[in-house]
Amino acid sequence: MRLSDFDYDLPERLIAQHPPARRGDSRLLHLPAKGGPCDLHFSDFPRLLRDDDLLVFNDTRVMRARLFGHKSSGGRVEVLIERLLSPRRALAHVRASKSPRAGAVLVLDGGVEVRVRGRREALFELESPALDFATLMARHGHMPLPPYIARPDAAEDEARYQTVFAARDGAVAAPTAGLHFSEAMLERLRARGIEMAWVTLHVGAGTFQPVRVEELDAHRMHAEYVEVGEATVETVRAARAAGRRVVAVGTTTVRSLESAAAGGGIAPFRGDSRLFIRPGYRFAAVDALLTNFHLPRSTLLMLVSAFSGHARIMAAYAHAVAEGYRFFSYGDAMFLERADA
């Protein structure tokens, strides 16, 4: 398939600019294994689950990773921390009228100076001699809202662009399917006896980067850090051995579990993953998926097309547009079931 196969028309008015008034107050488009889409509310999600389903979440936590400042020469800069290499060293995206060179000094809000050590492909390696990056972000950082949210971050984003179960700092974008879950919804699921497990994938800014090549074989997937621990592996193995469904909350959870299963059977995994899931991929670990709606021409749209079939996904997206669903990070959700699961 080619990049143009994953395009669709989306009115700008359907791109959600704010979260719903209450967490979980969203619509849910159910795409069953057979048949057409069904319009529901996220409160209906528990009834789509089987009693013996295993629900797997991504527990990453979004850092206040966007920083503003200026070059020592005076030009404005915007820094987006992508990954911490050590307390005082980080890889970051740097936006400026002219890219800084190695040795340049950036003066960030609060008067904190960081030095450019060099480049690693599209990222800059930065060093903060006076203050560790965690403290710098806590004091002066902004929530890194996606580029399609056309407003500055606000007080509401501190809580709402973060899942209620976020535990491990490292992401620069939220695992958005998890944003729908309130503590009350999690308690409903626990009371029903739904088993839960956890992975960590620190979502990078590359998740928003468009694919720039028409031939998908030429696309190089961005790397994201993944951890799938022994406890989760054993839980997934037991569920699959018993014929139970593994339900992933979000495409990041899919990428985590499928990265851990890339060698055949699922095994503990810790490290960077560049797994590119597109039509033709054979899923080894996931049977059903809760996800948001994804950007045209994106690798995530390719992933859900691999999961539920390209024609069915594109038809479901056309239905969602016609019915006025809200799209992307603060938008509505889909629940997808694999036909062969």
Q: Give the C-alpha separation, 86 to 106, whole Å.
A: 19
Return the pLDDT at 298. Answer: 95
CB contact at 8 A, 269 and 226? yes
Return the pLDDT at 207. Answer: 80
Return the pLDDT at 229. Answer: 98
Return the pLDDT at 121. Answer: 85
Q: CATH topology for 66-140?
A: Thrombin, subunit H (2.40.10)
Return the pLDDT at 180. Answer: 98
Chain-centroid distance of CA 328 in Å reads: 11
Per CATH, 3-62+158-337 and 66-140 having the same topology is answered no
CB contact at 8 A, 272 and 225? yes
Return the pLDDT at 215. Answer: 93
Return the pLDDT at 210. Answer: 78
Residue ranges per domain, the chain? 3-62+158-337, 66-140
Averaged pLDDT in 10-residue chunks for the chain of 341 residues: 95 98 97 95 98 98 97 91 96 93 94 95 93 96 96 97 97 97 98 97 86 91 94 97 97 98 93 95 97 96 96 97 98 92 62
Name the helix (H) or strand (E) containing 135.
helix 133-140
Q: CATH topology for 3-62+158-337?
A: QueA-like (3.40.1780)
Q: Give the C-alpha separation, 168 to 201, whole Å.
A: 9
CB contact at 8 A, 69 and 77? yes
CA distances from 155 to 86, 143, 169, 207, 215 (A): 29, 9, 19, 24, 42
Of 61, 67, 62, 60, whose CA–CA distance to 139 is shortest? 67
Global confidence as pTM: 0.95
Return the pLDDT at 341. Answer: 62
